[in-house]
Structure 1
Amino acid sequence: MTLYRKYRPQTFADFVNQKAIKTTIQNQIISGKIPHAYLFTGPRGVGKTTMARLIAKALNCEKRSPETYEPCNACLSCEEITKGISLDMDEKDAASNRGIDEIRSLKDTVRFSPTRSRYKIIIIDEAHMLTTPAFNALLKTLEEPPLHVVFVLATTEPQKLPETIISRCQRYDFKKVSLGEVVAHLKAVSEQENVSIGDDVLLAIARRSEGYLRDALSLLGQVIALGGAGREITFEEAELVIPRSYKDRAEELLSLIELARAREAFALIEEIIDAGVQSEQFLFDCIDCIRERLITALDDDKTRLRSLKMLDIFIKRAEDIKRTSFLPQLPLELAVIECIGKENPSNDNIKIKTAVLETKTLTLDRIKSQWKNLIETLRTTHTALTVALSSCTPLRMEGNRLILGFKFRFHYNMIKDDKNRLFLENVLLQMFNEKLIIGGEVIAEDQTLATEPKLPLDINQAGESSVEEVFGIV
């Protein structure tokens, strides 16, 4: 059995954190003033469903005195709830039972009195997953349930619940467990498991769990599996299980960016990706490092502004992850180019002659005047793109969109490719210091839109036109 199931709290005293919520519910149990519906919100693994089960135990415990709130865990009702076989506690997962038919069945269930207990407890986990018709079907029952029924709705996304549902429940917001409380709980569990684990390992597990106690217990179970009863587990062994943080490599990348050493930055990114690190996770590590730098440099205007620019670039590139899944390192590489371009327009990979802006508004004439410069810049770094751009012309500006006119559809399709388009957009950003979105269309030689080609007069003409469409005029 996994540790988080084995050590699920069976009394309020065992429940970790959420002191205010515990105190309120304990007082309700003693006074007998039980609301007909609870709504527990908060992140995963902090005890929402566990608290719902404790309420079910306390309300239906056969040996609990009216002056106390703790269940006895010895009577038949407590034992059945602990084992999950109680007929008077119905726990539903709304992620897999989310339709109106399930809610109609539930409404039929609550009409009947409990089998042998005082209350029938209905727990709906991940309540935000219910469909709109299901919510509507639940609404009337939730508003005026039978006196013997108590609803407990648990969700990680309360913003997805209809206001009509929220207003009919007593809402309690669960918080993440503090680092110290996670470490203390892990230490107590490891002692009960008769395993010796150093404080540095427990601290690493607690930090990696980020306040989610269930995640922490799952990681502890994996660490314990490395050793055995009575054997001490070292930090080096625990590192085989605890997911590594690459914040040290992220700091190294940021330092290379500040030194404008693009080649070394690209090599580091390649090394990270080859090691199997998810580019999305590494981007988040970089963002976290920049955020920490920003916080420590609040009184340093220069460092603060530089960190803000870098943070903005990395956040925007994190949004490109799904669009560039075909080349996972691309968002990181583009972030490096943009950051170095803002600090030092000339980098180790692409030598761009930066155009000095005379006005804040970028005009089509200015782009046309620098077009040959752009092609020469790309000639040694992206030959295919150079050929495509040589056969096109900047047509017009539509806000921040630059529309290019292509004579041949083959070249137009090349620019439509996300990889090439993003590359070109970033080169233009460094050249003109203004973000442009590239668009395009196929045009005829007289700058009008191309029409469907006429049928060739003979087979020789057909061959010549096909070659011209792909390679241009020779």
Structure 2
Amino acid sequence: MALALYRKYRPATFAEVVGQEHVTEPLRTALSSGRINHAYLFSGPRGCGKTSSARIMARSLNCVEGPTPDPCGKCGPCLALAPEGPGSVDVTELDAASHGGVDDARELRDRAFYAPAESRYRVFIIDEAHMVTTQGFNALLKIVEEPPEHLIFIFATTEPEKVLPTIRSRTHHYPFRLIPPSAMRELLERNVAAEGMQVEPAVYPLVIRAGGGSARDTQSVLDQLLAGAGPEGVTYARAVSLLGVTDVALIDAMVDALSADDHKAVFSTVDQLSEAGHDPRRFATDLLDRLRDLILLRSVPDAASTGMVSAPEEELGRMIAQAERIQPGTLTRYAEIVHNGLLEMRGATAPRLLLELLCSRMLLPEVAGDEAAMLQRLERLERRVTAGPAQAGAPQAAAPAATPAPAAQQTAPATTAAPERTFERPSQRSAKPAEPTQPSAAAPPAEQPEPPKQPAAPAASAPPAQPEPKPAQAPAPVAGSSSEPGQLDAAALRQYWPQLLAAVRKLSRSTEAMLTNATVHSLDGNTVVLTHPAEPLARRLSEPRNADCIATALGQVVSGNWSVRCVHAGAVQNEAPAPAARQAPPAPARQAPPAKPQQNQQPEQRFQRPSASEQQRKPVPATTEPDIPLPPEPDDEEPYPDGPDSGGPVAAPAPDQTDPEAVAHKLLSDHLGARPID
């Protein structure tokens, strides 16, 4: 019967232990200096050399030339404790998995007091020490704490946290680790050379990956391949079929199809996988390993030369080409989807179906959602922008500066007051029909005060004028515009309203909800005045938290430092006629009789205010009189000392609204519609 490789090539000295230099070097130093402790604890994953190191420690302690880090290998203790030796009566190796009870511990304690028969030290190696019961550890506690001078304990375990803390605190703890792939490959090549066999270089990564960093498991896999090798040695095809590893051609086909966004090729690869009899779970695991290698090759260009990615030369070239075609964000998203899918595949009755669902998620970024899909979209936009950044940036920067110019040219000749000229533009539909009928009759003074009165209705009906700027071609890259507060007016700022709402939504959804029916009223330097048909919401928007949020979003949209305040639309309606009356000449202002027909036209414009609030309340039947908004009381019409932010009007009503008959006429017109009432 052939001896297993992990037993045949078991290390006999600390110098032969592979990948555990952080443990072997301190132990060699301690043996050289003679600073030997009475108890040691070796912990680490299975097959990494814990028990072998414990035997080497016992051999080094009992060597005739010892204690020494390099046993001679010729004396009796060295030959007895060799990897293939018969063993020594003074070295007891106990498996705690089957002898971890309190009775076994008491027997071991009684034997420990006897002096060694032919060696220097009596050594007890307790393997799988975490399996010793609490009562067993308590039985050994006293002797482990104060052992005889000839007694040394060595505990080996894969779970050191399960060892009794009172025992663990009395030992020197040496943690072992998994063996790195580079050191493991050197070990395998030495074993193959000693066996005189031929192994293809592409087989070593498969064996190392199957071993998982354990020297014993890796050597067992290699031993299996060597046992089934033919005259040509261990080939890659034989290793793939025997280990159940997915063929690299299928992995390459899947990655190439994903990079090309070829749906047909992706699902054809899954079909070929099933026809070949491969396990979908193993395919998903191997695909995740490939994605990991591609991420490293994409992030670290020299990952292959430094050993971070281990693959044959021809396969490494294909992997580098694949990593260049797929962006890092996309690779990360693919890896997350496959990883989550592997968790779902545990215990699944239809693993192929789950694998196909994973492929569909990788092919459809919008289905995956979350930040990974957004990152992939941003990468696609970056590839488009980098194609021509200079050509794409010129029109974007010129568009915001070109839009305010026509608005300024149209509003400049209207009036001298800034709030009134900004509302000339929404009311052009009612003003333009009157201009052709009197092209040469602009001189009569009786008609001069009429244009200043008409903006009062659009001022109150500011919310209905909000949809007009939306179809306007506002510049798309608003965040890059460099508009200063002095270069914008209210009409130009309204064109940025959709972008402003989107920016506010990112900062505060509640503030964005309250801005639904608001609109820009005027600009006073760097202060933006907003109007809202609902007085409570106007007060809420004027609070520092909401005002600062809107100002911050406005700075992101058009740049600059801004301050924002919001007033009630009714207050703006009352204060709009006041400056017109002050600006108009005294004589034409007293000509009230010619303005009588304008009262019939005024309800047509004021009808826009209730229509803007139709989205918030349903039309009230004509019979429900209590729902008609009442005019303000005379006591409430006086200006508030704190200004419009205090929640009330700031100016007295227009002279034509003091007449009760006119007020009733307006209320009925607002309620029944825009029809003139005689």
TM-score relative to the length of structure 2: 0.44
Give 1:331's match in structure 2, choosing from 354, 360, 369. 354
For 2:134 and 2:285, locate their aligned partners in 1 and report how far apart those are by CA, in whole Å: 34
CA distance in 1, matches of 2:333, 2:237: 40
* One of 329, 337, 341 as aligned partner of 1:305: 329
User: How many residues are aligned here?
Assistant: 342
Measure how far apart 1:236 and its partner are: 4.6
What is the Cα deviation at residue 5 of structure 1?
A: 0.7
- Conserved 8 A contact 1:88-1:120: yes
Percent identical: 34
The alignment partner of 2:126 has SS state of strand
Deviations 1:237-262 (A, max 9, x none): 75355553555534533554555555
Q: Distance in 1 between matches of 2:256 and 2:162?
A: 41
The answer on whether the counterparts of 2:91 and 2:122 sit within 8 Å (CA) in structure 1 is yes
1:274 Cα shift?
Answer: 5.0
2:144·2:170 contact (CA, 8 Å) conserved in 1?
yes
Per the TM alignment, residue 57 of structure 1 is displaced from its structure 2 partner at its CA by: 0.9
Task: State which of 308, 317, 337 in structure 1 corresponds to 2:341.
Answer: 317
Structure 1: runs of 5+ lacking an equivalent: 346-357, 361-474
Residues 211-230 of structure 1: matches in 2 within 5 Å?
A: 211-226=213-228
Alignment of 1:147-186 (within 5 A): 147-186=149-188
Counterpart code for 1:71 = P
Aligned partner of 1:11 among 10, 13, 17: 13
Letter of the 1:90 partner, please give it.
Answer: T
Distance 1:72 1:227 in 2: 37
For 1:269 and 1:19, locate their aligned partners in 2 and report how far apart those are by CA, in whole Å: 44
Structure 1 segment 238-317 matched on structure 2, within 5 A: 239=239, 241=242, 244-246=245-247, 248-257=249-258, 265-273=266-274, 275-298=276-299, 303-317=327-341
Cα distance in 2, alignment partners of residues 215 and 92 from structure 1: 22
Any conservation in 1 of the 2:244–2:278 contact (CA below 8 Å)?
Answer: no
Q: 1:201 to 1:283 in 2, by over 3 A?
A: closer
Deviation, structure 1 residue 87: 2.1
The aligned counterpart of 1:72 is 72
Residues 77-96 of structure 1, C-alpha deviations (whole Å, 9 max, x = no match): 23332335322222223333
One-letter identity of the residue aligned with 2:293: E
Q: Would you say the 8 A contact 1:219–1:241 is kept in 2?
A: no
Q: Which amino acid aligns with 2:346?
A: K
Displacement, 1:339?
3.1
Residue 198 (structure 1) shift: 5.2
Change in Cα spacing, 1:328 to 1:97, as seen in structure 2 (3 Å) is: farther
After TM superposition, give the deviation of residue 53 of structure 1 in Å.
Answer: 0.4
Name the SS for the 1:189 alignment partner.
Answer: helix
Structure-to-structure mapping, 1:341-420, within 5 angstroms: 341-343=364-366
Structure 1 residues 8, 103: closer, same or farther in 2, change over 3 A?
same
Q: C-alpha distance in 2, partners of 1:315/1:287?
A: 7
Is the 1:64–1:70 contact (alpha carbons within 8 Å) kept by the matching residues of 2?
A: no
Code of the residue aligned with 1:334 in structure 2: it is L
1:128 is aligned to 130
Identify if the C-alpha distance between structure 1 residues 316 and 223 changes in structure 2 by more than 3 Å, giving closer, same or farther.
Answer: closer
How far is 1:227 from its partner? 5.2
5+ residue gaps, structure 2, are: 301-323, 369-501, 507-678
Residue 318 of structure 1 contacts residue 331 of structure 1 at CA under 8 Å; is this kept in 2? no
How many Å apart are 1:208 and its aligned residue? Answer: 4.5
Distance in 2 (alpha carbons) for counterparts of 1:246 and 1:201: 12
Which of structures 1 and 2 has the bigger CA Rg? 2
Offset at residue 153 of structure 1 (A) = 1.9
Counterpart Cα distance in 1 of 2:114 and 2:367: 74
Rate the CA distance shift 1:18–1:323 in 2: closer, same or farther, 3 A. closer
Within 5 Å, which residues of 2 pair with 1:100-139? 100-139=102-141
8 Å contact kept, 1:45–1:213:
yes
Give the partner amino acid of 1:122.
F
* Cα deviation, residue 36, structure 1: 1.6
**Distance in 1 of aligned mates of 2:108 and 2:238:** 46
CA shift at 1:52, angstroms? 0.5
- The answer (yes or no) to whether the contact 1:270–1:329 under 8 Å persists in 2 is no
Q: Which amino acid aligns with 1:73?
A: G
Instruction: Classify 1:201/1:139 alpha carbon distance in 2 versus 1 (closer, same or farther; 3 Å).
Output: same
**2:81 aligned partner, one-letter code:** I
For residue 23 of structure 1, give the secondary structure of its aligned residue in structure 2. helix
Alpha carbons 1:297, 1:304 under 8 Å: kept: yes
- Tell me the alpha carbon deviations over residues 149-201 of structure 1, each in whole angstroms, 9 at most, x when there is no partner: 22222223334445444332212222333444333333333333333445555
The worse-fitting range, judged by mean Cα deviation, of 213-222 and 115-124 is 213-222
Between Structure 1 and Structure 2, the one with more helix by share is 2
8 A contact 1:3–1:221 mirrored in 2: yes
Secondary structure of the equivalent of 1:92? strand
For 1:75 and 1:107, how far apart are their aligned partners in 2? Answer: 29
Structure 2 counterpart of 1:102, one-letter code: D
- Separation (CA, whole Å) in 1 of partners of 2:145 and 2:335: 47
Give the letter for the 1:292 counterpart: D
Instruction: Give the 4+ runs in structure 1 shifted more than 6 A.
Output: none
Q: Is the 8 A contact 2:226 2:234 kept in 1?
A: no
> C-alpha distance in 2, partners of 1:98/1:266?
54
Q: Which whole-Å CA distance do the structure 2 matches of 1:331 and 1:145 have between them?
A: 59
Provide, for residues 64-106 of structure 1, a one-character-per-residue CA deviation record: whole Å limited to 9, x for no partner: 255x432233333233323353222222233333444433333
The alpha-carbon deviation at position 217 of structure 1 amounts to: 2.5
| RMSD (Å) for aligned C-alpha atoms | 3.5
| Residues 303 and 203 of structure 1: CA distance in aligned 2, closer, same or farther (over 3 Å) | closer
* Residues 1:295 and 1:201: Cα distance change in structure 2 (over 3 Å): closer
